[in-house]
Structure 1
């Protein structure tokens, strides 16, 4: 099954022109918004084209992150902030534990899957590095200071802040447009989601996976999991390996076309829709289904003297830490709404971080 591709250009043009759109434009807008909300509800994922986010922007960002991840481990660990739950700076490989290793309900669900669609079982913490960079304004007063800390800038990268902020803000703009369209498609007010995102702890969070040492079949870079945030957006990676699960249980290898961005539903969106829009499950792994493409990409990179680090161009868009998570509008009457009690978004995030070993919990032996 191919994921839907939605060009945001018509929506942005209608939204930004001001005034009331013509009837034909209103019909076009309604169809676009229905396509966005429908895809998020049925598949948990969506491909979008945003004229503000170019392939050149993505390449510039990945080029810099490849240089960073190629640095010695001792240098990268200078940017490690475990006391801030790894929510800024670098998270070394071997720290983050896949949710599927600690969630018994998820493990039971995996065992019931057809073998063809089962995720690859991780053997321990993820062998990937990740860099967390806070994007956008943060609240001056918050109950969750650790989730809203100042960003960390590594020495020797003079363009770091400009590159990270530029790409991060562009991807947040794309997320905001999708969030508005989804809200309209779900029958909510246009700002139902974006009003809750203001001053959220949005994170530009690229991962780095060393294919020189880990690029063999069976390596699980990011074990089967969902994202704890609102919506996740990915630019195109230079190496394959991302698998997602649709709502019907089908496993799909994602191929992001040049110039497109991948949007995935997170747990906070699931909360706000009372379980009608489920958080998308996914993994990054070298398996028999993608090994040939991965190994061919590694071979070409070696021939061209390019980096063998697989960098994900990922941003986690969050609901503001001090905002309230609860099913919105008519979603409060959803069948499963009672499973999503009212709580602060930051409280929920801290619970999730503890479960995956980023907030003081020991990894399983």
Structure 2
């Protein structure tokens, strides 16, 4: 099964034309249905070109190829790694420490199971805030100033340029999903305002860890609202649909992948569930490595990932008619920043986990 593709052009260009509005309304219902049934969709946004994604990946490959000593100069553990770099071997995949997730693991047929992680993730990550921060907040460590590495004069412009484009795509999908779910158009986006959105590219060293089956990001869900990825130059992302089906993601050139996170699950009382996924070295990854080597290209696998968040001081709770859901009680009101800090603690980004 291929992840469904939604072209945002009509929604972005919709006017008062009644026939077009009806078509857009149907597309919005399709977006909400796909998110509900699969937890993932691929979008084509005319504002986000393949060239924009390439420019970003080019810079991140250059950064990740720097020495470990240089990169650790941008490490900020006292801020829960929510800005700057997170070295490999720090973040712990939730499936390694979450007993409920391990139980779910065991119920899957053997051919649909993820690769079981045995330790922290073998990936580097860079966290870059996108968009305005709140003037005052209880969660300063989730809204801290950015870190810019020396020797990259293009860093801020490149990060902000691509980050804002991806946020715009997420906001369009969030509006479409809200309409499709029978909520006000701004039901989600008004809660996203001044959220701690993170452009969070990962870097995985295929030269060192290019063996088939190596886990770069162990089986997990994302704690944020919606996650958006540009197309990586190396395959390796597997996702699990709501029905348990495993899908190796193939993002077409010029498209973006969007996945449901835990915050949209909360706001919809489980109508959307946070999508499970992993990043591993597959046979297709190795094929892409061989081609890259032949052309003397970088062997760092970069994901241009952005985590879109609900604002830290906003309250997470089921919205509108989702409050009437029979399982709404499983999603009690919680301040988003408190929720995020609880989740960060579990995956070893706030305090130390003994494995």
- TM-score, length-scaled by structure 1: 0.96
Provide the secondary structure at the position in 1 that maps to 2:194.
coil
Provide the secondary structure at the position in 1 that maps to 2:73.
helix
Partner of 1:247: 242
Distance 2:112 2:324 in 1: 32
- Which moves more between the two structures, 2-11 or 262-271? 2-11
Per-residue deviation, 1:216: 0.3
Distance 2:74 2:36 in 1: 38
Partner of 2:52: 57
Whether 1:294 aligns to 2:294 is: no
1:102-122: CA deviation from partner (whole Å, max 9, x where unpaired): 100000011011111111001
Provide the secondary structure at the position in 2 that maps to 1:232.
strand
Partner of 1:359: 350
Contact 1:183–1:193 at 8 Å: present in 2 too? yes
Partner of 1:5: 5
Partner of 1:274: 269
**Within-5 A mapping of 1:23-172:** 23-172=18-167
- TM-score, length-scaled by structure 2: 0.99
Distance 1:361 1:108 in 2: 24
- List gaps (5 residues or longer) in structure 1: none
Per-residue deviation, 1:302: 1.2
Contact 2:239–2:246 at 8 Å: present in 1 too? yes
Question: Following superposition, which runs of at least 4 residues in structure 1 exceed 4 angstroms of deviation?
Answer: none
Contact 1:207–1:312 at 8 Å: present in 2 too? yes
**Within-5 A mapping of 1:11-26:** 11-14=11-14, 17=15, 21-26=16-21
- List gaps (5 residues or longer) in structure 2: none
1:225-264: CA deviation from partner (whole Å, max 9, x where unpaired): 0000000000000000000000000000000000110000
Provide the secondary structure at the position in 2 that maps to 1:79.
coil
Contact 2:212–2:286 at 8 Å: present in 1 too? no
**Within-5 A mapping of 1:141-290:** 141-286=136-281, 290=282
Question: What's the C-alpha RMSD, in Å, of the aligned pairs?
Answer: 0.7
Whether 1:303 aligns to 2:294 is: yes
Provide the secondary structure at the position in 2 that maps to 1:319.
coil
Contact 2:2–2:250 at 8 Å: present in 1 too? no
2:309 to 294, 315, 318: 318
| Structure 1 residues 131 and 23: CA distance shift in structure 2, 3 A | same
Per-residue deviation, 1:98: 0.1
Distance 1:296 1:101 in 2: 29
Partner of 1:329: 320
Distance 1:318 1:255 in 2: 25
Per-residue deviation, 1:22: 2.5
Per-residue deviation, 1:336: 1.4
Per-residue deviation, 1:297: 1.1
Contact 1:125–1:363 at 8 Å: present in 2 too? no
